[in-house]
Amino acid sequence: MKTHTKVLVIGGGVVGCSVLYHLTKLGWSDVMLVERSELTSGSTWHAAGGFHTLNGDTNMAALQGYTIRLYRELEAITGLNCGLHHVGGITLADTPERFDMLKAERAKHRYMGLDTAILTPAEVADMTDGMVNTTNIIGALYDPLDGHLDPSGTTHAYARAARMGGAEIVLHNRVLETNPHPEGWEVVTEKGTIIAEHLVNAAGLWAREVAAMAGVYLPLLPMAHQYLVTDDIPEIYNRGTEFPHVMDPGGESYLRQEGRGLCIGFYEKPCEAWAVDGTPWTFGHELLNEEFDKIADSVEFAYRRFPVLERAGVKRVIHGPFTFAPDGNPLIGPVPGLRNYWSACAVMAGFSQGGGMGLALAQWMIHGEVERDPRGFDVARFGNWTTPGYTVPKVIENYQTRFSVAYPNEEKPAARPFRTTPMYDRFTEMRAVWGQQYGLEVVNYHALPGEPVYETPSFRRSNAWEAVAQEVAAVRGGVGINEVANFGKYRVTGTGARAWLDRIMAGLIPAPGRLALNPMLAPSGKIIGDFTVSCLSETEFMLTASYGAQGWHSRWFEQNPGPDVRVENISDSRTGFQIAGPQARELLSRVTRADVSGAALRFMDVRRLTVGMADCIVQRVSYTGDLGYEIFCDHMSQRALWDVLWQAGQDLGLRPFGMRAMMSLRLDRFFGSWGREYSPDYTPAETGLDRFIRWNKRDFIGRAAAHGAVPGRRLCAFVVDATDADVVAWEPIWLDGEVAGFCTSGGYSHHAGKSVALGFLPPDAGTEGREVEIEILGERRPARVVTQPLFDPEGTRLRG
């Protein structure tokens, strides 16, 4: 065993072996893996081995597609058999809502190049020789790529391919300690100490214990999962072709052929969290005791859906643990706060996702960024506020709802409320309907009298419609108020602050008293941040951006330090309110002695003002596209700031508004949103953010790649002839009978009374009035390109 290596991977499951292989594939051969037992110990060896591409996150779906295509490559490289069975998969829909979800997924697949199809109940019955009871089935989604494989053979193929690329694998060698070292990490194992420049935690069931050795907490939890293998079934082994995968979300089950019988597994509601307080080091190739009671209802449902099961005996029961993160997605990437420490954990669908996750992590380590937007699986999406007390109920909830309909407006209730601002009780009294972002409770809207204080999950327009419409009208016709708590906020100080910002940000770093919109770019020239930079003095700046991107942005700042500069995350200690609408200036003038006239406080100005009793930072800017101000204060002063604004605004029609109204208001002006229009999948030239770049700056990160880049697509705005459903995201855009682009976001402009979408078209196609079709829930709706904002097109109210 060597004692020094560039990369040390801890864990010999499918994910660890995939990471090892992809590092060698991308050119790093000085890599090694240590495993406490044998390869596949833990979750891998008892996995059902199914794989599929269906995933609500398009980047995850694409990486799952990569994983599936990789298996033939591994077989060719190594000569080993992965036991591939490409039998195709059928996902059933037994409710209109579930069928809406499948139609929305099929629409995404059109521009992703996935050859899926919507099936009728009769087609389902035909493809399954009548072994699926389609009595209550409305339709289904078919994916020809779905199938299953041999978990052990596949893992060993990854391992052999890695060895062929120069990797070393050491078995029966448990890690005892991981300690920071000048060269990276000192890893003490049972067979000796290894010095590694990079350390990868791919420890699976033991990932929490390995992370604790480095002083960090990873939010994941093993869940006990059970599936059954039947005796031989004549209808199965006499078919002539292998039976397809069938996922029955209504019955919380998945089913496939196993030899001459069937394998069926369940995501049951009375589920069981396993090893909540830690995974025993002695656990490995064992299974858990059979527990038929917890799947009794699911089995009974399965017998009705698949009557052939009633005539089949149970050959064996597999009951074992595997790990989930709170949202069910993997935890991949550089762990914030630790140098060269990488997570490759919580990949619960290892044979659907393991290859893609190995590729993504290898790209991140070697190139410094990932080819595809990694935010859906980035370990930084959970902050240091995450605790085991939060993780356990969220993981249980995710397991229980794994096969539930995933609605675009759904707010899951487990582990909430957890993190709240001082205004939580006030807004609750005002009938707030809450959402959450990065663990923080955020007002979505305020329910009207007589209406329920919750939003009904739906793919169509929800019961929030009228309340949101009234909030929008209040802003456009008078003045509205909402919190700015859900902005990420950073304080940048020091004599080197301006120089550091000039390198980190692509745009203008403003003069004292001014603010500027600023893209932040990766070396590839892609967008990794959409910021407002405010200059309070030559040695103090405030940055604001998406609250949910704190982990991502803070880690980037840590990785790109500068001399004589300090960056503090003040997202929760600095809070306040936004006021917006034609009466916003009048309201502000009533609560401060400062001159806030249009001449004294211009658009894009920033000032320190006393508002009521609170010392505040006031910015003349608004995401609503209207006259507006962002008023920031210390969180201890927020209640007092609210009281003075609320009292002063009563005769002006002051009304609180939430994020649903905010997202409608921004569509009036075609303002992009972080994570939708602006993300690491896109470049400034594609999205229009290049207009904020200052190309005369010579050394900002990403300049070389972004400068002169010719966009292959451009962001456009559309008015859609929608009915009861608006664009959410990822809907295909049809141009001249072909799919030519896709939507990034959309919704209803209550001010204009129009359904609006934003999305990408070829560069020369986005001309005013260009007619297209946008596919919404399987129906192609007429739409046209619009280039003039629907509200205040000249910006006179915004800037006046």
pLDDT > 90? residue 53: no
Give me the CATH number covering residue 223.
Answer: 3.30.9.10
Same domain, 792 and 764: yes
Query: What percent of the chain shows pLDDT beyond 90?
Result: 89
494 domain-assigned: yes
27 domain-assigned: yes
What does the pLDDT read at residue 556? 97
Quick one: how many helices (H) and strands (E) in the chain?
Answer: 20, 38
Per DSSP, the three-state class of 755 is strand
- Mean pLDDT of the region 66-78: 93
3-state SS, one letter per residue, for 642-695: HHHHHHHCHHHCCEECCHHHHHHHHHHCCCCCECCCECCCCCHHHHCHHHHECC
* Cα–Cα distance, 790 to 39 (Å, whole number): 60
Same domain, 716 and 688: no
pLDDT > 80? residue 46: no
DSSP 707-726: TT---S-EEEEEEE--SS--
* Cα–Cα distance, 151 to 290 (Å, whole number): 21
C-alpha of 213 from chain center: 28
Across the chain, mean pLDDT equals 95
86 domain-assigned: yes
Instruction: Please indicate, yes or no, whether the overall pTM of this predicted structure exceeds 0.75.
Output: yes
* Cα–Cα distance, 419 to 170 (Å, whole number): 43
* Cα–Cα distance, 296 to 476 (Å, whole number): 55
Residue that terminates a domain, selected from 277, 305, 324:
324
- Mean pLDDT of the region 410-421: 97
What Cα–Cα distance (Å) separates residue 792 from each residue in 426, 604, 665, 668, 747? 33, 17, 12, 9, 19
pLDDT > 80? residue 56: no
Check: CB of residue 88 under 8 Å from CB of residue 117. no
CB atoms within 10 A of CB 270: 12
* Cα–Cα distance, 551 to 334 (Å, whole number): 11
| Residue range of the domain that includes 688 | 487-571+673-692
Give me the CATH number covering residue 537.
Answer: 3.30.70.1400
What does the pLDDT read at residue 311? 87
pLDDT > 90? residue 42: no
Judge residue 523's burial from the number of C-beta atoms within 10 Å of its C-beta, 0-12 exposed, 13-18 middle, 19 or more buried.
middle
* Cα–Cα distance, 542 to 544 (Å, whole number): 7
* Cα–Cα distance, 336 to 357 (Å, whole number): 18
Query: What percent of the chain shows pLDDT beyond 70?
Result: 100
What does the pLDDT read at residue 43? 80
What does the pLDDT read at residue 59? 86
232 domain-assigned: yes
Check: CB of residue 610 under 8 Å from CB of residue 618. no
Same domain, 681 and 765: no
* Cα–Cα distance, 704 to 50 (Å, whole number): 43
Domain count, the chain: 3
Quickly state the pLDDT bin for 630 (edges 50, 70, 90): very high
The helix-helix angle for 14-25 and 350-367 (nearest 10°) equals 40
Same domain, 67 and 134: yes
What does the pLDDT read at residue 285? 78
Same domain, 160 and 111: yes
Same domain, 84 and 143: yes
Residue that terminates a domain, selected from 309, 324, 339:
324
* Cα–Cα distance, 302 to 314 (Å, whole number): 14
Same domain, 257 and 218: yes
pLDDT > 90? residue 350: no
pLDDT tens string 431-459: 999 999 999 999 999 999 999 999 999 99
725 domain-assigned: yes
Residue that terminates a domain, selected from 623, 657, 692:
692
* Cα–Cα distance, 287 to 224 (Å, whole number): 10
pLDDT > 80? residue 337: yes
What does the pLDDT read at residue 41? 84
What does the pLDDT read at residue 10? 98
What does the pLDDT read at residue 481? 98
Check: CB of residue 283 under 8 Å from CB of residue 205. yes
- Mean pLDDT of the region 194-223: 97
Same domain, 204 and 288: yes
Per DSSP, the three-state class of 767 is coil
3-state SS, one letter per residue, for 237-297: HCCCCCCCEEEEHHHCEEEEEECCEEEEEECCCCCEECCCCCCCCCCCCCCCCCCCHHHHH
Same domain, 678 and 747: no
Residues with Cβ within 8 Å of 656's Cβ and at least 6 positions away in sequence, in order, are 427, 430, 432, 443, 446, 471, 480, 481, 482
Check: CB of residue 5 under 8 Å from CB of residue 194. yes
What does the pLDDT read at residue 100? 93
Both tokens of residue 699?
């050394």
585 domain-assigned: no
**Strands, DSSP E only, in 311-461?**
314-324, 331-334, 341-345, 432-437, 440-446
Same domain, 53 and 111: yes
pLDDT tens string 561-620: 999 999 999 999 999 999 999 999 999 999 999 999 999 999 999 999 999 999 999 999
Residues in the chain, total: 800
376 domain-assigned: no
Check: CB of residue 131 under 8 Å from CB of residue 762. no
pLDDT > 80? residue 688: yes
What does the pLDDT read at residue 349? 87
Quickly state the pLDDT bin for 708 (edges 50, 70, 90): confident
pLDDT tens string 102-114: 999 999 888 888 8
Quickly state the pLDDT bin for 55 (edges 50, 70, 90): confident
- Mean pLDDT of the region 733-738: 96
Q: Which of 161-175, 209-223, 235-249 has the lowest mean pLDDT?
A: 235-249
pLDDT > 80? residue 45: no
Give me the CATH number covering residue 794.
Answer: 2.40.30.110
- Count Cα atoms within 13 angstroms, Cβ side, for 511: 0
- Count Cα atoms within 13 angstroms, Cβ side, for 179: 10
Same domain, 15 and 81: yes
The stretches of 119-277 forming alpha helices (DSSP H) are 121-127, 151-164, 207-213, 234-237
Check: CB of residue 273 under 8 Å from CB of residue 279. no
Same domain, 794 and 677: no
* Cα–Cα distance, 464 to 455 (Å, whole number): 6
248 domain-assigned: yes
